[in-house]
Amino acid sequence: MNETKKIQLEYSQMESDRMRLNVGPQHPSTHGVLRLEVEIDGEIVTEVIPHIGYLHRCFEKHCEKMTYPQVIPYVDRLDYISAMNNEWPYVMAVEKLLEIKVPEKVEYIRVIMAELNRIANHQIAVATFGLDAGAFTPFLYFFRDREYILWIMEKCSGARLLFNYFWIGGLAHDVYPSFKQEVLDAIKQVRKTNAEVMNLLIYNKIFIDRTANIGILPADVAINYACSGPTLRGSGVKWDLRKDDTYSIYNRFDFNIPVGKGEVGQLGDCWDRNIVRMYEMEESCKIIEQAVAQMPDTGDVKEAIPAKLRPPKGAEIYQRAENPKGELGFYVVSNGTEKPDRIKARGTSFVNLSVLPVISKGYMFADLILILGSIDIVLGEVDR
Amino acid sequence: MGETNFLIKLLGDNLITVLLISALPLGFLVVYALLAILGELKISAWMQERVGPMRTGWKGVLQPLAEVIKLIQKEDITPDAANKPLYNLAPYIVFTGAYAAFAVIPFSEFFVPSGINLGLFYIFAVGSIGAIGIVMGGWASNNKYTLLGAMRSVAQLISYEIPGAMAILSIAVLSSSLNMQEINKAQTGWFWNWFMFGGPGSYEKLWVIPFTLGLTLIYMIASLAETNRTPFDIPEGESELVAGYHTEYSGMKFAMFFFAEYANMFVVAAVLVTAFMGGWNSPFGSFLSGPLWGAFWFIGKSFFVIFVQIWLRWTLPRLRVDQLMYLGWKILLPVSFICFLFVSLFRMLN
Amino acid sequence: MINYIKSIWEGLWTVLVGMRITLLHLFVRNVTIQYPKERFPIPDGTNGTAMARNRLELDMDLCDGCKRCSRACPVNCIELDILQVAKGVEQPILKNGDKRNAWVPSYEIDFAKCCFCGLCTSVCPTDAIKHTTEFEYSSYKRSGTVSYYFDDKKDYDRGLKFSFINLTEAEIEEKKRVLAEFKAQQAAAKAAATVAKPEAQTEAKTE
C-alpha cells in the first residue's frame, strides 16, 4: 500500500511530455468519421475529446420539409445497421398521434423484424469489437451469418440495409410464404456461430485479458450520463424498454434481460458490455421463436395504412423504443398539416458516446480503441 | 570442421563461388516470400470460409507476383517533414538484418552458406539489427503513430530476445555446440532423436521431454514476438496505430519491410527447425535421407512452422503492450530458466 | 502461485481451442460468391417476395403524368412536365385501357439523388414506375453513364440523370401545337359564348 503510494507520488512528480494525438476521422477503428483528440503520456491516455459532426445531415431540420411517410427513409439512415429498429419508434409515434390500431399480424412481423435486426446489429458490434482487439476471423463468421438475416429482410422489403419497411399503420409489403421457416433456419445458424465465437473469441484468454478490467463504467455514472442499451446493462442495471416500458406486443413474450455480472473482471468493463450483446442475441432468438409460433397467417398488412395523414394541430408525443444500441426516441409535434412541425430524435449513440471521455482516462491507448468499440456507436446516429 | 558446402567442393574457393553462395539464399528468399504471401492469403481465406484471390492466374496463384509488380509501380512518397536519409535507409537495414541471418542456416547436409562455429549466437546477434531499422523508420517518418509503433517494437524485441536466447542456450547445452550443422548432426535418426523430444538417448531421457517441449513452445512464442506477428503485432497493430512503424512508407520501401517480415518468419522457423526439430534430418531414420531429401525435409518443416504462425495469426486477438511485457518477463523468462535448469541437470547426469 | 499457473494453463488451453476451431474451418466449404460470374439472387417480386429496390424503370405507355411519384419522393429526384391532351381533338389510350389525360414531354430521374426508398412505386396508380433488379450502373463507356434511353440526343451530360420519354421532339412540338390550337379554339368558343351570353341576358332584360 505505502509502496504503491510512493510510486504514484514519484510518478506524478516525474516531468513527462504529453503528446496530442489526433485519432480519426480517417482512422481505421473509430467506427466511422469520429475524431478523437487524445492526449497521451507515453502509452497512457490522459484526456480524450471526441469531435463529432463529420456526418451531420440536418436530419431534424430536414424532417420539417417532409411529409410523415417521407421521413421514414431518413430515419433509416440514422443508425444504418439497425434500420428496422429505427423506424419502429417513429412509426409508433405517428400512429399514436393518429390513433391508429395496427393489425395483429403487423405487430408480429414488426417484432420478428426488429429482433432479427437486433441480432444483425449485435453481430456487427461483437465482430468489430473483436476486430479492434485484433481478431479478424470471427468478424467474417459473423458477416457470413448476417447475410442470412439480410436475405430474409431483402425478400420482405426489397432492400438490404435501409429498409423503409415499417409504414405508418402497416408494412410496405407482406411477408413471403416460406418466411417463418427461413427465420427459424437463420436463428439456428446464429446460435451455431455464437457458440463457436464464444470459444474462439469471447472466452479466449488473450481477449479476456484485453477487455476485462478496462473502461469500467460504474452503474451510477452510466445512469448519470443517461446511457442505455447494452452499455447500461453491462454495468449491471436491469433496464430494458421492452420490459420496463412495454410497447407493441412485447408483454406476450417470455425473455430475460441479460446484465453484466463482472464474470471475468470488474463489473461494467468492456468484456461485460460485450457479453451482454452475445446473450441478447440468444434472447432475441427466443423472442423470434415465440413470435413465429404465435404469428397469425392471415391478415392484410396494409389495411390500417391511412389515406390521409394529418394529425391534429398541436398534438405532440415522445415515443421511445429499445434500439439495439439503447433507447431511441422521437419527439414529434404536429401542426395539423401533412408535414410535421418538429421532429427531435434522441440518438442512442450520441448519448452513449458522451461517456467515453469519462471512462477512458488512465488506460492505455490500445484500450481506448476497445472502449470505443465496446460502446458500439454508429456515427450516422451520433451526428444525425 | 569439414566442407559443408557443395558449391565450394564443386567450384573451388573463389570469389565467384562466394557470390553464388550468397545469391542462392536470396533467390530462395524471393521464391519463398511469394509462396508465403500466397499461403497467408489463401490459408486466411480458407479459415474464414472465403476463397481468397481468384483472378490472377489459376485460382489466383499469381496474386503475390501481381502485388509485387503493383508495389514496384507505386509512387514512392517521402513525407516532407521526414528525415530523408534515415527514412530511405530504414527499410534496407531491416531487410539486411533478416537476410544476414541466412548466412548460417543449414539448408542441407551439404549446403550452408557459412558454416561458422557460432551459428546460433550469430543469428541472435544479427536478428537485433532489424530493431534498429524499425526505430529508424518509425522515428524518421516524423509521425506520431510511427513513433509509437517503433517504441513498442524495440521494447518488444529486446524483451523477447531473452527467453528465446534461453531456449536456444538449452540446445547449446544439449548438443554442446553452437554450430548449426553440428546441432543437426546430433539429432540424426528417427524423430524421437530431435531435441524437441530430449535429443538422442535411451529411456533415461523421458523425464526431460516436458522441459524440451516447453522450450520449443517458448521459442515459438518468442519468435512470433520477434517477427511482429499476431498475437504480438502491436508495433503495427492496425486497429490502434493505423500501420505502426511503416504507416508512412509506400511503394518499394514498404515492400522491403514486408519482405523483411516474411524473411524473418523463415529465419525463426529455420532456427526452430534446426534447434528443436532435427533440421534437415528425415523424421524416419535413414529413410528418405540424403542431401537433396535433407533440403526437402528442412524446407518442409520450416513451412510447417510458418503455417502454424499463419494459423495463429488468424485465430488470436492482439495483446496489449503491458501484457506483452508481462508475458515476456514474468512467464516466459522464469519458465525458460526452469526448463534450462532441468535440461542442464539432465546433461550433467548423463 | 496457483493463479499464476492457472492463467498460463488457461491461456494455452483457450488458444488451442481457438486453433481447433479455425483448423476445422479450413476444411469447410467456402461461401464466397464469385461476383460477375455467379450472383447473389435478388428478389424479383415472384413467390410473394418484395421487388428488390434497385434502378427505377418507367413505362411511358402507362404513365398518365399525375405527378404523384414526384410528390412522394423525399429527395425530389423525379422531375416531369406534363402537357394536357386536347380532349376534343384526340383521345389517346394508356396501355391498360384507360383514357390518357396528359402527355409527358419530359420525365427525368436523377439516380445520383435517388435514395431507393420505393415510395414513388407505391403511390403510382397505374404501376408505370417500377423498381428493377438492375443495380450495376457502371459502364465501360462514358456514354453509358450519361443516358439510358437517350442514345440519340447529344450533349446530354447530366451524370446519372435518366430520361424516360418516348416522344420525339417533333411529336412534342406537334402535341403542343395541337393543344395550343385546341385551347385557342376553346377560348374562341368561350369568347363567343361570353359574347352570346350578355346578349341573351340583355335580351332577357329587355323582355
Query: What is the sign, positive or negative, of the torsion defined by CA atoms of B271, B273, B278, B282?
Result: negative
Query: What is the sign, positive or negative, of the torsion defined by CA atoms of B142, B145, B146, B149?
Result: positive
Rounded to a whole number of angstroms, the distance from the CA of C160 to the nearest CA of chain A is 21
Taking the C-alpha atoms of residue B177 and residue B348, their distance in angstroms, rounded to an integer, is 15
Q: What is the mean pLDDT of chain A?
A: 86
The ranges assigned to domains in chain C are 56-183
Phi-psi region of A53 (alpha: psi -120 to 50; beta: other; left: phi over 0): left
Interface test with A, best of C6, C26, C33, C53 (most A CBs within 10 A): C53
**Would you state the cell numbers that stand for residue C137, as one nine-digit string?**
450502373
Cβ separation of A144 and B319 shorter than 8 Å?
no
**Would you state the cell numbers that stand for residue B164, as one nine-digit string?**
528465446
pLDDT band at A342 (very low <50, low <70, confident <90, very high): confident
**Would you state the cell numbers that stand for residue B107, as one nine-digit string?**
539448408
What lies within 8 Å, CB to CB, of C190 at 6+ separation is none
Cβ separation of C50 and A137 shorter than 8 Å?
no
Nearest to A158 among C11, C47, C52 (CB): C52
Predicted confidence at residue A267, as pLDDT, reads 86
pLDDT tens per residue across span B206-248? 788 888 888 888 888 888 888 888 788 877 777 777 777 888 8
What mean pLDDT comes out for the span A241-247?
Answer: 86
pLDDT tens per residue across span B165-185? 888 888 888 888 888 877 887
Predicted confidence at residue B148, as pLDDT, reads 84
Q: Which positions in chain C touch A203 (Cβ < 8 Å)?
A: 14
C-beta of residue B350 within 8 angstroms of C-beta of residue B258: no
Cβ separation of A137 and C7 shorter than 8 Å?
no
pLDDT above 80 (res B189): no
Interface test with A, best of B240, B324, B325 (most A CBs within 10 A): B240
Q: Which positions in chain A touch B225 (Cβ < 8 Å)?
A: none
pTM of the model: 0.85
Query: Nearest 10 degrees: CA dihedral of A102, A108, A109, A114?
Result: 100
What mean pLDDT comes out for the span A115-123?
Answer: 90
C-beta of residue A90 within 8 angstroms of C-beta of residue A60: no
Cβ separation of B311 and C29 shorter than 8 Å?
no
Q: Cα dist. A72→A59, A76, C115, C120 in Å?
A: 11, 6, 12, 14
Cβ separation of C115 and A73 shorter than 8 Å?
yes
Nearest to C28 among B43, B49, B311 (CB): B49
What mean pLDDT comes out for the span A54-63?
Answer: 87
Q: Cβ-count burial of C22 within 10 angstroms (0-12 exposed, 13-18 middle, 19+ buried)?
A: buried
Q: How many helices (H) and strands (E) does chain A have?
A: 16, 8
pLDDT above 70 (res C145): no
Chains in contact with B, where contact requires at least 3 CB pairs less than 8 Å apart: A, C
Q: Which positions in chain C touch A74 (Cβ < 8 Å)?
A: 74
| Position with higher pLDDT, B156 vs B112 | B156
pLDDT above 60 (res A59): yes
Cβ separation of A204 and B144 shorter than 8 Å?
no
**Would you state the cell numbers that stand for residue C40, as one nine-digit string?**
447473389
Nearest to A205 among C10, C47, C118 (CB): C10
Number of domains into which chain B is organized: 1
C-beta of residue A305 within 8 angstroms of C-beta of residue A324: no
What mean pLDDT comes out for the span B14-32?
Answer: 82
Coil, strand or helix: which one is A230?
A: helix
Amino acid at C24: L
Nearest to C30 among B51, B331, B335 (CB): B51
pLDDT band at C159 (very low <50, low <70, confident <90, very high): low
Q: Which positions in chain B touch C23 (Cβ < 8 Å)?
A: 47, 311
Amino acid at A138: P
Cβ separation of C116 and A204 shorter than 8 Å?
no
Rounded to a whole number of angstroms, the distance from the CA of A165 to the nearest CA of chain C is 9
C-beta of residue B225 within 8 angstroms of C-beta of residue B156: yes
Predicted confidence at residue C142, as pLDDT, reads 59
Q: Which positions in chain B touch C34 (Cβ < 8 Å)?
A: 51, 54
Q: Which positions in chain B touch A134 (Cβ < 8 Å)?
A: 230-231, 233, 237, 239, 316-318
CATH class, domain A3-383, is mainly alpha
- Element (DSSP H or E) covering residue C196: helix C169-206
- Phi, psi of C27, deg, nearest 5: -105, 15
Which residues sit opposite A44 in a β-bridge? A41, A364
Nearest to B317 among A28, A43, A207 (CB): A207
Rounded to a whole number of angstroms, the distance from the CA of C86 to the nearest CA of chain A is 31
Rounded to a whole number of angstroms, the distance from the CA of C50 to the nearest CA of chain B is 29
Maximum average pLDDT range among B104-118, B333-347, C83-97: B333-347
Taking the C-alpha atoms of residue C176 and residue C178, their distance in angstroms, rounded to an integer, is 5
Rounded to a whole number of angstroms, the distance from the CA of A48 to the nearest CA of chain B is 15
Chain C, nearest residue to B317 by Cα: C15
Q: Cβ-count burial of C155 within 10 angstroms (0-12 exposed, 13-18 middle, 19+ buried)?
A: exposed
Rounded to a whole number of angstroms, the distance from the CA of C77 to the nearest CA of chain A is 13
C-beta of residue B80 within 8 angstroms of C-beta of residue B248: no
Q: Which positions in chain A touch B239 (Cβ < 8 Å)?
A: 28-29, 131-134, 366, 369
Taking the C-alpha atoms of residue B196 and residue B213, their distance in angstroms, rounded to an integer, is 5
- Closest to B278 (Cα-Cα) out of B109, B162, B123, B164: B109
Rounded to a whole number of angstroms, the distance from the CA of A186 to the nearest CA of chain C is 15
Taking the C-alpha atoms of residue B330 and residue B350, their distance in angstroms, rounded to an integer, is 31
Chain A, nearest residue to C70 by Cα: A70
B19: in domain: no
A–B: how many Cβ contacts below 8 A?
Answer: 80
pLDDT above 60 (res C151): no
pLDDT above 70 (res C143): no
B207: in domain: yes
Cβ separation of B316 and C15 shorter than 8 Å?
yes
Chain B, nearest residue to C22 by Cα: B47
Cβ separation of A66 and C74 shorter than 8 Å?
yes
B–C: how many Cβ contacts below 8 A?
Answer: 38
Chain B, nearest residue to C21 by Cα: B315
Residue with cell 446473450: A279
What mean pLDDT comes out for the span C93-115?
Answer: 79
Residue with cell 569439414: B2
pLDDT tens per residue across span C5-34? 888 888 888 888 888 888 888 888 888 888
Interface test with A, best of C24, C25, C49 (most A CBs within 10 A): C49
Rounded to a whole number of angstroms, the distance from the CA of B326 to the nearest CA of chain A is 11
Cβ separation of C51 and A158 shorter than 8 Å?
yes
CATH class, domain C56-183, is alpha beta
Taking the C-alpha atoms of residue A224 and residue C4, their distance in angstroms, rounded to an integer, is 38
Q: Cα dist. A283→A107, A254, B44, B259 in Å?
A: 18, 9, 32, 48
Rounded to a whole number of angstroms, the distance from the CA of A43 to the nearest CA of chain C is 25
pLDDT above 50 (res B287): yes
Residue with cell 534461453: B166
Q: Could you tell me where the beta strands, DSSP code E, fall in A66-195?
A: 166-167, 170-171
Chain B, nearest residue to C28 by Cα: B49
Q: Which positions in chain A touch B237 (Cβ < 8 Å)?
A: 134, 366
Cβ separation of C15 and B315 shorter than 8 Å?
yes
Chain C, nearest residue to B314 by Cα: C22
B42: in domain: no
What mean pLDDT comes out for the span C160-178?
Answer: 75
Nearest to C26 among B47, B51, B54 (CB): B47
Cβ separation of C18 and B314 shorter than 8 Å?
no
Cβ separation of B242 and A200 shorter than 8 Å?
no
Taking the C-alpha atoms of residue B118 and residue C201, their distance in angstroms, rounded to an integer, is 128
Q: Which positions in chain B touch C15 (Cβ < 8 Å)?
A: 312, 315-316
Domain that holds residue B236: 80-349
- Cβ of residue A156 closer than 8 Å to a chain C Cβ: yes
pLDDT tens per residue across span B52-80? 888 888 888 888 888 888 888 888 888 88
The ranges assigned to domains in chain A are 3-383
Q: What is the mean pLDDT of chain C?
A: 77
pLDDT band at A6 (very low <50, low <70, confident <90, very high): low
| Position with higher pLDDT, A132 vs C112 | A132
